[in-house]
Chains A and B, each alone.
Chain A
């Protein structure tokens, strides 16, 4: 796939995400997912967190979209960088 193709794919994913979020806030926001539901039904609470994360998924359309955008960029960046470094290491190993 070309560079243009990747750009189109990224735009497509984010566009679908933006549309999907509207449905999410219309139908699902605030409702528990499967695991949360089972925990709620049984009165199990999550313990204190060892790590407090710097961001959350946002509470309305705009903030959730920004959170998604950040997550998209971070995930893309992390996997991309990791694999690049990994490939470099791999070719060095093969040469050695």
Chain B
């Protein structure tokens, strides 16, 4: 990645995350702390499990939509940030410089898209959850494609991938991977609705508008 694109990633991601942390205050109370922590840990392990999609390529859950459904937008941004930072620092999954861009894609764009779709389709939860999951992954991957192409242009081909290749390739693979995200997220939400409906109520869709 081109250094300027990396800087831009940090510059865009940090204020949104800071805002989410600041606004979290209204939502968190003693009761929700262990719940948020366990959800974050659950998403961490879910991200390790790749599933095959097509032609030797695999995908794995991002989990942003699940986090938004259960914790609301600010909670999801904070939780996704924690997961990505641990993956980067402890497990070397994604370099330190790329962390800003990863944060922007998966801790900012993905939850924002999920939140937007969930709000737009409020009252149609059966449709809203899968659509939000699919869109969050697809748009985050599109953003990643744009970053790769911007890197290519700015660095004169030294970094990144030319846009006419990067954008369709990222979008194409992730359109399929996102179906996996939609199936898994919907499954988990339906399951929780059945066994622990109170979890869906702490959140979320009801309060998220505030």
Contact = CB atoms under 8 A, between A and B. Distances in A.
Contacts, number: 180
Interface stretch (B86-94, B111-119, B124-132): B86-94
A73 B45 CA distance: 10
A72 B87 CA distance: 11
B169 A57 contact: no
Contacts of A32: 56-58
A38 B44 contact: no
Contacts of A1: 34-35, 196, 198-199
B166 interface: yes
A85 to B, nearest CB: 11
B160 A44 contact: yes
B105 to A, nearest CB: 10
Given A27-B52, A31-B50, A53-B89, A71 B57 contact: no
A28 B58 contact: yes
A44 to B, nearest CB: 6
B36 A83 contact: yes
Interface in B19-33: 21, 24-25, 28-30, 33
Contact of A37 (B37, B57, B83): B57
Nearest to B30: A87
A79 interface: yes
B96 to A, nearest CB: 4
Nearest to A84: B33
B70 to A, nearest CB: 12
B36 A79 contact: yes
- Label chain A's interface by main secondary structure: helix
Contacts of B169: 37-38, 41-42
A56 B34 CA distance: 26
A96 interface: no
Interface of A: 1, 5-6, 9-10, 13-14, 17, 20-21, 23-24, 27-29, 31-35, 37-39, 41-42, 44, 46-47, 49-57, 64, 67-68, 70-80, 82-84, 86-87, 90
In the A-B complex, the 5 residue pairs with the smallest Cβ-Cβ separation, listed nearest first, are A53-B92, A80-B37, A76-B41, A34-B173, A28-B50
23 contacts: A6-B34, A10-B41, A13-B38, A17-B45, A21-B49, A28-B50, A31-B57, A34-B141, A35-B141, A38-B170, A39-B161, A42-B165, A42-B166, A44-B148, A51-B88, A51-B95, A53-B89, A55-B90, A68-B44, A71-B90, A75-B41, A79-B40, A87-B33
